[in-house]
Amino acid sequence: MYIKTKCKCGRQNFHNVSVRVRQDGSALELGDINVKDSVEAEQLAREILLELQGYVYDGITTRQLCKVLKDNFGVAFQYCCDIVQRLKIELDMYCPDKQHLYYVETL
């Protein structure tokens, strides 16, 4: 799962982490946390863009896109809005009703 951090320089980075949790009776105990990869927000958005062709369509809801980001790319749900905003710009999409994404038609 990707989690977001902010660098002292102001850039946002995403880290692909795996978390191991152990259950001891009724208590949960945090085991290992491993950082598998670290990327800048722009780089993560570009990598996702390359893979999104089969998932994004005209009229997709932001909720559906967040589910795709979570299920297929491991982006934590609370960071989906940030990624969706970047994808809207990169894919030339707009969201007139704040729910559905549409491609901008060029003449």
Structure tokens at 56: 């994004």
Amino acid at 99: Q
Write phi, then psi, for 76 (nearest 5 degrees).
-60, 140
What predicted TM-score, i.e. pTM, was given to this entire model? 0.66
Query: pLDDT tens digit string along 49-95?
Result: 888 877 888 999 999 999 998 888 888 888 888 888 888 888 889 99
Q: Is 45 exposed, middle or buried (0-12, 13-18, 19+ CB in 10 A)?
A: buried
Average pLDDT on 10-26 reads 84
- Residue 59 pLDDT: 93
What residues have CB less than 8 Å from 63, skipping those under 6 apart? 99
Give the confidence band of 2 by pLDDT, cuts at 50, 70, 90: confident
Q: Which residues pair with 2 in a beta bridge?
A: 16, 75
pLDDT higher than 70, residue 107: no
